[in-house]
Amino acid sequence: MATAPKFYLTTAIHYTNGPPHIGHAYEMVAADAIARFKRLDGYDVFAMTGTDEHGQKVQRTAAQNGLSPKAFVDGIAARFHEMEQALGCSFDRFIRTTDPDHKISTDELWRRMEANGDIYLAKYSGWYSVRDEAFYGEEETTLQPDGTRLGGQGTPVEWVEEESYFFRLAKYQDALLKLYADVPDFVSPETRKNEVVSFVKGGLEDLSISRTSFDWGLPVPGDPKHVMYVWVDALNNYLTGTGFPDPASPRAHYWPADVHIIGKDIVRFHTVYWPAFLMSAGLPLPKRVFGHGFLLNKGTKMSKSLGNVVDPFDLAATYGVDQLRYFFLREVSFGQDGNYSHDAIVGRINADLANDLGNLAQRSLSMIAKNCEGRVPPCGALTEADDAMLAMADGALARAREAMKDFALHSLLAEIWAVVAEANRYFAANEPWRLTKTDPARRDTVLYVTIEVIRQVAILVQPVMPVAAGKLLDLLGVPAEARNFAALGKAGRLDSGTALPAPSAVFPRYVEPEDGQAA
């Protein structure tokens, strides 16, 4: 492992002002699939998710619930942690911004920015959205008929006037523009990058980075009547995860992050403020920031007031964890908005999983159980069709890696399903069930080729469906140590004669409940 390249990936950290929703689930699953892919591909991976627990929004919600902020966030953070487990995620750390090491790390970031002359005390007066935890210039707000004002993302803003520390963001305008030009994929997808570049070109103002009107936050070093602006605190979680500022931390080598996976609504914080803070502190910048799209419920934004919020725990229980993960990542082009609906998820489960992959595995393995003494059949001389089939499967890793360069999880799955579709055509065209009487040796070869292709498919889908893929690999008799990407292609061909367990269905069809009540 010593020579394995490192890969550090993070999700956004989730606000603990309410329980997790499907958007949070989506982001976690996507990030987890990327982390698992990199692990299987031989990287030394550190993947982190967690919760963003400070700030005015959380403090107010806690008060509304009659709880202290800490008691309130403890309950919600536990729920996020449970969701991570319930969705079969494999993060290496679940970070909370109330963790003690996060305070040490964030104090140090502040001190370094201050030592660089980038922090000064002044007075802030302007508009603030508690829901977005963001300041808005007057021109970014709109006055409503009832006299209230809405900020850039349509949330209410309130007038704030108080003593505040400021960060010299304006000073970093040129350096940021140079960054976007020098590292073209720093912000992706491209559309998000264009938005950020034009925002920065429009001119940057210094940023208010402390508040005095509430106290649920990290105190400013040396001036504890101020708490740090929650975004300074939150963004720094990524450094905390690597043991910053301790250079001897076993995780120090993971910085800089290879990618921050976040939603499109918080790209500005990650691609303007965060790199500016790091430049100020003299620290290396993350390599990439990927802003995924939003998951919508039949085209509509989910919100409590619309009553269309879907509980991710319910979804996983209704459809199955791996099925839900597959749906999220196959249905939505990663980077764009996507839709959730019962019909769409059932369609994917029954067509792609039960029919295309599940049936092929079930049919070929049942024939092997019946005709080949339950052992991996012998592989005779290969025909051109056999060679072409195997070559397509052997080439899948290269195509998967290519898709993964842009985190195109949907393309990765499309590539794998193209192999599955070809395997179905191969199986149908070669009709192994007809060969038992006429040419059993040829039948065995067709079955061998078919399950060898399924082996490779199963290895490749592990990042997305870890449990189901694991079951499929069990059915194929593939040992645990032969399940990573190094075993793809010729290197890990199935051994004829290996005894196989009795076949069983890995991907059951989704059947509507008796009373017709869709979930």
What residues line the site for ligand ME8 (CB under 6 A)? 12-15, 23-24, 26-27, 52, 234-235, 237, 262-263, 265-266, 294-295, 302
Please report how close the Cβ of residue 112 comes to ligand ME8 at its closest, in angstroms: 18
Cα separation, 514 vs 382, in Å, equals 48
Please report how close the Cβ of residue 12 comes to ligand ME8 at its closest, in angstroms: 3
Instruction: Decide whether 233 or 352 has the Cβ nearer to ligand ME8.
Output: 233
Cα separation, 263 vs 271, in Å, equals 12
Cα separation, 371 vs 175, in Å, equals 68
Please report how close the Cβ of residue 13 comes to ligand ME8 at its closest, in angstroms: 5
Instruction: Decide whether 6 or 131 has the Cβ nearer to ligand ME8.
Output: 131
Please report how close the Cβ of residue 405 comes to ligand ME8 at its closest, in angstroms: 21
Rounded to 10 deg, the angle between the 384-394 and 409-430 helix axes is 160
Those residues with Cβ within 8 angstroms of residue 217's Cβ, 6 or more apart along the chain or in another chain: 54, 55, 211, 227, 228, 229, 230, 233
Contact between residue 34 and residue 261 where contact means Cβ atoms under 8 Å apart: yes
Closest of 502, 89, 94 to residue 322, by C-alpha = 89
Q: What DSSP element (H or E) covers 74?
A: helix 69-86
Instruction: Decide whether 26 or 448 has the Cβ nearer to ligand ME8.
Output: 26
**Residue 182 neighbours by CB distance under 10 Å:** 8
Instruction: Decide whether 279 or 468 has the Cβ nearer to ligand ME8.
Output: 279
Contact between residue 294 and residue 263 where contact means Cβ atoms under 8 Å apart: yes
Please report how close the Cβ of residue 504 comes to ligand ME8 at its closest, in angstroms: 35
Across the strands, what pairs with 292?
263
Please report how close the Cβ of residue 299 comes to ligand ME8 at its closest, in angstroms: 12
Instruction: Decide whether 312 or 503 has the Cβ nearer to ligand ME8.
Output: 312
Burial label for 384, CB within 10 Å (0-12, 13-18, 19+), is: exposed
Two structure tokens written together for 441? 């040796």
Instruction: Decide whether 53 or 444 has the Cβ nearer to ligand ME8.
Output: 53
Please report how close the Cβ of residue 296 comes to ligand ME8 at its closest, in angstroms: 7
Please report how close the Cβ of residue 380 comes to ligand ME8 at its closest, in angstroms: 50
* The three-state (H, E, C) secondary structure of 255-288, written as one string: CCCCEEEEEHHHHHHHHHHHHHHHHHHCCCCCCC
Please report how close the Cβ of residue 54 comes to ligand ME8 at its closest, in angstroms: 10
Q: Is 91 helix (H, G, I), strand (E, B) or coil?
A: coil
Contact between residue 92 and residue 46 where contact means Cβ atoms under 8 Å apart: yes
Instruction: Decide whether 339 or 371 has the Cβ nearer to ligand ME8.
Output: 339
Cα separation, 130 vs 249, in Å, equals 35
Please report how close the Cβ of residue 14 comes to ligand ME8 at its closest, in angstroms: 4
Two structure tokens written together for 489? 């292609």
DSSP 375: B
Instruction: Decide whether 258 or 452 has the Cβ nearer to ligand ME8.
Output: 258
Instruction: Decide whether 35 or 235 has the Cβ nearer to ligand ME8.
Output: 235
Instruction: Decide whether 84 or 415 has the Cβ nearer to ligand ME8.
Output: 84
Please report how close the Cβ of residue 228 comes to ligand ME8 at its closest, in angstroms: 13
Q: Is 131 helix (H, G, I), strand (E, B) or coil?
A: coil
What is the phi-psi region of residue 23: left when phi exceeds 0, alpha when psi lies from -120 to 50, beta otherwise?
Answer: alpha
Q: Which residue is nearest to ligand ME8 (CB)?
A: 263
Instruction: Decide whether 13 or 396 has the Cβ nearer to ligand ME8.
Output: 13
Q: Is 136 helix (H, G, I), strand (E, B) or coil?
A: strand
DSSP 476: T
Cα separation, 486 vs 44, in Å, equals 15
